[in-house]
Structure 1
């Protein structure tokens, strides 16, 4: 049996395994290398290993896998979960090789150090010395595919119901502050089909940009309706949001624009359904659809991610939110970004998002994980394992 790596060594090896997920085919990669590496390590620690190919992952690559490692037997227990993929990067904005770990100024720099391969390096260290015979309940480790795009790995795992833990921790970077609530996410493309023609004869064409101008006006009104009609003060942005992310139309200044696309992003509050958001969207554009019949359409860019809320338990059930607050030393909070938590919650377990590092480092050039996170994270994971497995 080869010797297991220490924290820095395991982090370095994980970062060196490319596993970018992207909607652009030129960037999108498989994740099997990092999954197999994790499988090898946890197998050496006595975990049973199950590697599953993920159906329905992004169309640019079918080389996407989940890993479920299990130590111990019986019902319930603890699930530690995270995603194995990273976002693309702009090498020109990095001061070091994104696929290597640079240890400098009490920080580990590298793509995925914070979001979120580093979490698996922490788990590996926390699991050293665990004896399956001592576990009263099982410990599960889940590594998923494609969180940064389709969340296909988490969706597949939720459908498979391959584990039924009592509680689950999603190790996204939260500065070790437990997150019990986050917004949902959905994105759509609104398309306007016009009629191209020579710019000197406007009456012979239909300018898609001009119609899109009216569409945007209606959507700005919808933004205001969200602000006035929905509010959750647990969030620092208390209303649902609607963002204009990208627009494209036309090909030349002297041609009437024949087609225009607008990509929008909607972030819902807990309790709001996708159908409710789509109703608002449809209603806001209804008058324009009647004014320009057959010219305005919208489609989903990728499957939506639901909002998440873990309520505090009542009666005699042990409250995971309270336990997380006690062990972490922080009060639970709400965040505006989306995670895999609502899918893991479908296993029937109490779920929180809690991990090392700051979300401010995620998706950024020169991403890093501070040395100061090491002892705190190690103690937290060991405390959680002792509480729910030993």
Structure 2
């Protein structure tokens, strides 16, 4: 059994479903402890940091020849296991693929980063100090990466590679999101006397039709395409014989780089209010990512991919990641990892072990190069 298979199987066998503000930590801390112990057996110092009550990040450091730092960031939590068609916590291997919840998103990328860090620690010091962080809460409210920013405060962080399934291509852009609830209010009544009531579901119908027919008025992004707006949940009614007095729907508005989330919500609120709906303040706001293609961490990763015979053209990704929070703090960030987003959160989630091994080699190669400028240019100080 390869080291990649042994490591990833061990990570998948530790359940770490994000509790989404429920009780406990879902196992994030147990994964963090495993990462710490695995690294310390290989001579790499690692520390746990409590971000939320009982929920931890793990941060490890390999000192380089310079204090300037490159961060490897991947998350410890997973989504739920409902509807899975494979055993979620077995780590079964078939035809070179390891199956289980988190195998692709994002314990495969985490395993690749761990293997790369261990290889760096076993050789000559890399040109720049390397920090590896396993963070909690990425799948819900990204509080783990916000805690990491506090941990890194004041360090000269030159760039970050964020582990997510990108099919081993470097992703420098992704969409953000503004999620809010829209509601209509009628007057409840008995279903035998509908003329005496006002049906809130009927009032919601033109709102839903408008959302389906009207795209956001913003120019497409060259790597991401158009902004989108989708209805993701709808709730209304109290019983089969009652005209509903209220109805509400959740809206997922995917934003492009350069869009201001507050302005997006203000525009949507005015647009839907004209149809008689009330729009609540957003319950989720996550920024988009748009890292310059010539950022040093990007070019180093691209050179490493090219050196290993892999495509190195930068891409955009449709999903959000912790990279946007790092970038907003002044840290140029690129998203990279083994696996495909089509396998993330899937009923038979899996990742090719060969891709985990190749990702580790690519990251190690990139970090052995000069992954930051020789002076202050291109180096952001977190915080």
**Same fold, judged at TM 0.5 (above):** yes
- 1:259-283 deviations in Å (ceiling 9; x for gaps): 2120110100111010121122111
Cα offset, 1:22, TM superposition: 4.8
Q: Is residue 63 of structure 1 aligned with residue 54 of structure 2? A: yes
RMSD value over aligned CA atoms?
Answer: 2.5
User: 2:297–2:371: 8 Å Cα contact kept in structure 1?
Assistant: no
Structure 1 residues 15, 229: closer, same or farther in 2, change over 3 A?
closer
Show the counterpart of 2:125: 134
Pick from 68, 77, 90 the counterpart of residue 76 of structure 1.
68
Paired position in structure 2 for 1:183: 175
Counterpart in the other structure of 2:278: 296
2:248 aligned partner = 261
Match of 1:105 in 2: 95
**Cα distance in 1 between the residues matched to 2:146 and 2:123:** 29
Q: Which residue pairs with 2:30 in the alignment?
A: 33
Please give the TM-score of this superposition, normalised by the length of structure 1.
0.85
Q: Which runs of 5+ in 1 are unaligned?
A: 56-61, 290-294
Q: Counterpart in 2 of 1:309?
A: 290
From 110, 115, 124, the counterpart of 2:114: 124
In the alignment, the residues of structure 1 paired with residue 50 and residue 89 of structure 2 have an alpha-carbon distance, to the nearest angstrom, of 24
- 1:204 matched residue in structure 2: 196
Q: 280-289 or 361-370, which moves further after superposition?
A: 280-289
Secondary structure of the structure 1 residue equivalent to 2:164: coil
- Choose which of 238, 243, 251 in structure 2 pairs with 1:251: 238
Please give the per-residue CA displacement for 1:99-121, whole angstroms capped at 9, x wherever unaligned. Answer: 11111112111111111112222
In the TM superposition, what whole-angstrom CA distance separates every residue of 1:304-324 from its partner, at most 9, and x where no partner exists?
A: 1100010134xxxx6333332
d(CA) in 2 for partners of 1:192, 1:28:
36
CA contact (8 A) 1:247 1:262 kept: yes
Number of residue pairs matched by the alignment: 363
User: Could you say what secondary structure the match of 1:311 adopts?
Assistant: coil
Q: Is the 8 A contact 2:304 2:363 kept in 1?
A: no
Structure 1 residue 30: Cα displacement: 4.2
**Is it true that 1:240 corresponds to 2:230 in the alignment?**
no
1:292 maps to: none
SS of residue in 2 equivalent to 1:312: coil
Verify the 8 A CA contact 1:355 1:377 in the aligned structure 2. Answer: yes
Measure, in 2, the Cα distance between the counterparts of 1:229 and 1:343: 23
Aligned to 1:9: 6
Post-superposition Cα deviations, 1:112-157, rounded to whole Å, max 9, x if no partner, equal 1111112222223223352587344211101111111111111222
For 2:371 and 2:210, how far apart are their aligned partners in 1?
Answer: 53
Q: List runs of 5+ in structure 2 lacking aligned partners.
A: 307-311, 373-383
